[in-house]
């Protein structure tokens, strides 16, 4: 249950596949244009409900409630060992050292 005033993420369909711009490529034409916006809930609601939010600029936007206090999930990703090799190679060429 999300409370009025909670900071939430909402989802909306802006254009259905039929409404999309004529110039979009075929694969894009097969899917809707979607939108994600964050804001404060104007009334208590459940996840999945159609809700209204007030965004940081004060706009009233309607959409489906996805998440309360949405978190950032991006990070530095799975380690890429090739990067160590790049560092070793360029240092080896420039500064010499252990058999490089």
Partner 1 sequence: MKDMSYNAVMGRRAEIIKSAVGMDYSRFESGSIAFDYEGMMKATGLDINEVRRIQESFAIGHTPLIELKNITALARKMAPKGKGARIFIKDEACNPSGSFKARRAATSIYTAREMGYKGAIAATSGNYGAAVASICAMAGLKCIIVQECYDSKYIGQPEIIEKARKCEAFGAEVVQLSVGPELFYETLRMLEDTGYFNASLYTPYGIIGVETLGYEIAEQFRARFGKDPDAVVCTNAGGGNLTGTARGLRKAGCSAKVIAASVNLSGLHMASDTQFNKKSFTTGHTGFGVPFSTWPDRSDVPRSAARPLRYMDRYVTVAQGEVFYMTEMLASLEGLERGPAGDTSLAAAFSVAQEMDEDQCIVVQETEYTGAGKHVNPQLAFARKNGIDIHFGDPAEEVPGKSIILPAHPSLIKARDFNIEHMRHSLIKNAVASVDHAPTEEDIRFLAEEVQRDAAYVKAVLAGLKK
Residues lying near partner 1 in the complex (CB under 8 A) are found at 14-15, 19-21, 23-25, 27-28, 30-39, 55-59, 72-80, 82-83, 85-87, 89-91, 93-94
Task: State in angstroms the smallest separation of the CB of 62 from partner 1.
Answer: 13
Q: From the CB of residue 46, how many other CB atoms can be counted at a distance below 10 Å?
A: 9
List, in sequence order, every residue forming a beta bridge with 43; answer none if it has no partner.
Answer: none
The Cα–Cα gap between 100 and 93 comes to 7
- Taking the complex as a whole, the smallest distance from the CB of residue 7 to partner 1 amounts, in Å, to 11
**SS3 string of 21-66?**
CCCCCHHHHCCCEEEEEEEEECCCECCCCEEEEECCCCCEEEEEEE
Judged by CB, which is closer to partner 1: 15, or 47?
Answer: 15
**Closer residue to partner 1, CB minimum distance, 1 or 82:** 82
Query: Is the CB of 1 or the CB of 21 nearer to partner 1?
Result: 21
Provide the minimum distance between the beta carbon of 49 and partner 1 in the complex, in angstroms, as a whole number: 19
Please give the Cα distance from 48 to 11 (Å, whole number): 9
**Residue nearer to partner 1 on the CB measure, 23 or 97:** 23
């Amino acid at each position: 249950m999300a409370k009025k005033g909670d900071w939430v993420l909402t989802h909306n369909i802006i254009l259905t596949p039929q409404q999309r711009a004529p110039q979009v490529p075929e694969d894009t034409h097969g899917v809707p244009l979607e939108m994600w916006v964050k804001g404060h809930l104007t009334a208590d609601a459940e996840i999945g409900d159609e809700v209204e939010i007030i965004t940081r600029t004060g706009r009233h936007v309607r959409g489906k409630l996805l998440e309360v206090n949405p978190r950032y999930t991006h990070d530095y990703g799975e380690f890429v060992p090739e990067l160590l090799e790049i560092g070793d190679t360029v240092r080896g060429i420039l500064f010499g050292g252990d058999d490089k």
